[in-house]
Amino acid sequence: MNNRREPRDPVAYKKERRQAVLRHHPDAGGDPDELLRALEEVDRRHGVLGPDRGDDPVSAEQVAAVAVTALAGAAAIGLSVAMSFFGRRR
C-alpha cells in the first residue's frame, strides 16, 4: 500500500532528494542508514509521508477540532444530567 502524497513543490523535492543521495549514498562512501534518514527528512519537509507512517505531526487545527468536540460532548452530557435532575417532580 502506498502511503505517500504528492510533494508540495515537486521541483524542490526532487532537487533535495538528489542532493541527499549524492551526499550519503554508500557507493560514494556514505552510510546507508544516514541516507535513509536524510531521505525521510526530505520527505517529511515536503509533506510526502502519509498518515499511516505515524510520523506526521498533528496540526493545531486537528487538536482544536478534537478539543471542541470533547467540550461539546461534555456540555451535552452535563446539560442532559441537569435536565433530568431539575426535570424531576417531587
- 43-88 per-position pLDDT tens digit: 988 888 755 545 556 677 888 888 888 888 888 888 888 888 887 7
Q: Which domain holds residue 70?
A: 58-90
Judge contact between 38 and 23, C-beta under 8 A.
Answer: yes
**Same domain flag for 10 and 50:** yes
- The span from the CA of 59 to the CA of 42, in Å, is 19
Chain CA centroid to CA 60, Å:
11
The model's pTM is 0.51
Residue 1 sits in the same domain as residue 27: yes
Q: Within 13 A of 5's CA, how many CA atoms are on the CB side?
A: 16
Per-residue pLDDT tens for 8-51?
888 999 999 999 999 988 888 888 889 899 999 999 888 887 55
Same domain, 6 and 43: yes
Nearest 5°: CA angle at 38, between 11 and 4? Answer: 60
State whether 6 and 39 are in the same domain.
yes
